[in-house]
Structure 1
Amino acid sequence: MMPGPNTVAFAATVASAATAASVASVNNNNDDDERILDRDETLSSLPPEWPEYLTDAIAERASGGNETIVVLDDDPTGTQTVYDLPVLTEWSSEIIEDEFDRGTPAFYIMTNSRSFAPADAAEANECIARRLLSAAKSRNRKLSIISRSDSCLRGHYPLETDTLARTLREEADDDDNSIIDGLILAPFFHEGGRLTLNDVHYVAEGNKLMPAARTPFARDAAFGFSRSNVREYVEEKTHGKIRRDDVVSISLHDLREGGPPRVREKLNELIDGRPCVVNAVSVRDMEVFALGMMRAEEEDGKRFLARTAASFVQARIGLPKRPLLGADVINNNHRRVDDDDATKSDGVEGEGKKRGGLVVVGSYVPKTTAQLERLLRIDGLEAIELDASILVDDDARRGPALDDASERAERAVSSGRTAVVYTSRTLLTGRTPSESLSIGNVISDALVRIVSRLDEEAPPRFIIAKGGITSSDVATKGLGIRRAVVLGQAAPGVPVWRIGGEGKFPGTSYVVFPGNVGSNDELAALVERLST
Structure 2
Amino acid sequence: MLQPSVPVPVPLTFPDRHTLPPVREVSASEVAAAVAGGARLVVLDDDPTGTQTVADVPVLTRWTADDLRWALRQDSTAFFVLTNTRSLAPEDAATRNREVVRALAQASAAEGVGYVLASRGDSTLRGHFPLEADVLAQEVPVDGVVLVPAYIEAGRLTADSVHWMRAGDGSMLPVGDSEFAKDATFGYANSRLPEWIEEKTGGRVAAGDVLRITLDDLRLRGPQHVAALLGSLRDGRPAVADALCDDDLRVLALAAASAEAAGVRLLYRCGPSFVRARAGQSARAPLGAAELAAFRRAGDTPYGLIAVGSHVGLTTRQLDRLRERGGITGFELDVPALLDEQRRSAHIAEVARAAAEALAGSDVVVTTTRSVVTGADADDSLAIARSVSAALVEAVRAVSAARRPAFVIAKGGITSSDIATEGLEIRRAWARGTLLPGIVSLWEPESGPSAGVPYIVFAGNVGDDDALADALDLLRSR
Shift of 1:281: 0.5
Mapped partners of 1:398, 1:353: distance in 2: 28
1:294-326 C-alpha deviation (Å, 9 max, x unpaired): 11111x311100000000000001102211012
Q: Does 1:530 align with 2:475?
A: yes
Q: 1:85 is matched with which residue? A: 57
More deviation, 201-210/226-235? 201-210
Mapped partners of 1:458, 1:30: distance in 2: 54
Shift of 1:28: 6.8
Mapped partners of 1:352, 1:167: distance in 2: 45
Aligned residue for 2:220, secondary structure, equals helix
1:8-51 C-alpha deviation (Å, 9 max, x unpaired): xxxxxxxxxx323xx3xx2275713xx354xxx72343121003
Q: 1:31 is matched with which residue? A: 10
5 Å-filtered alignment, 1:107-506, equals 107-168=79-140, 179-205=141-167, 206-298=169-261, 300-335=262-297, 351-352=298-299, 355-392=302-339, 394-415=340-361, 417-456=362-401, 459-492=404-437, 493-502=439-448, 504-506=449-451
Aligned residue for 1:276, secondary structure, equals strand
Q: 1:55 is matched with which residue? A: 28
Shift of the 193–117 alpha-carbon distance from structure 1 to 2, 3 Å rule, reads same
1:261-304 C-alpha deviation (Å, 9 max, x unpaired): 12112112211111000000000000001101111111x31110
AA matched with 1:128: V
Query: Are 2:77 and 2:279, in contact at CA under 8 Å, matched by a contact in 1?
Result: no
Aligned residue for 2:319, secondary structure, equals helix
Shift of 1:459: 2.7
Query: Are 1:197 and 1:280, in contact at CA under 8 Å, matched by a contact in 2?
Result: yes
Q: Percent identity?
A: 40
Query: Are 1:331 and 1:462, in contact at CA under 8 Å, matched by a contact in 2?
Result: no
Q: How many residues align?
A: 475
AA matched with 1:403: A
TM-score, with structure 1 as normaliser: 0.86
Mapped partners of 2:342, 2:7: distance in 1: 53
Shift of 1:455: 4.7
Q: 1:521 is matched with which residue? A: 466
Q: Gaps spanning 5+ residues in structure 2: where?
A: none
Mapped partners of 2:95, 2:322: distance in 1: 39
Aligned residue for 2:325, secondary structure, equals coil
TM-score, with structure 2 as normaliser: 0.96
Compute the RMSD of aligned alpha carbons: 1.7
Shift of the 203–524 alpha-carbon distance from structure 1 to 2, 3 Å rule, reads same
Mapped partners of 1:120, 1:431: distance in 2: 20
Shift of the 446–188 alpha-carbon distance from structure 1 to 2, 3 Å rule, reads same
1:159-192 C-alpha deviation (Å, 9 max, x unpaired): 1111001011xxxxxxxxxx31110000010011
Mapped partners of 1:334, 1:204: distance in 2: 34
Whichever of the two has the greater Rg, that structure is 1
Match of 2:68 among 75, 79, 96: 96
Q: 1:6 is matched with which residue? A: none
AA matched with 1:27: V
Shift of 1:437: 1.1
Off by >3 Å, runs of 4+ in structure 1 = 101-105, 331-335, 351-354, 455-458
Mapped partners of 1:440, 1:101: distance in 2: 36
Query: Are 1:324 and 1:489, in contact at CA under 8 Å, matched by a contact in 2?
Result: yes
Mapped partners of 1:353, 1:524: distance in 2: 23
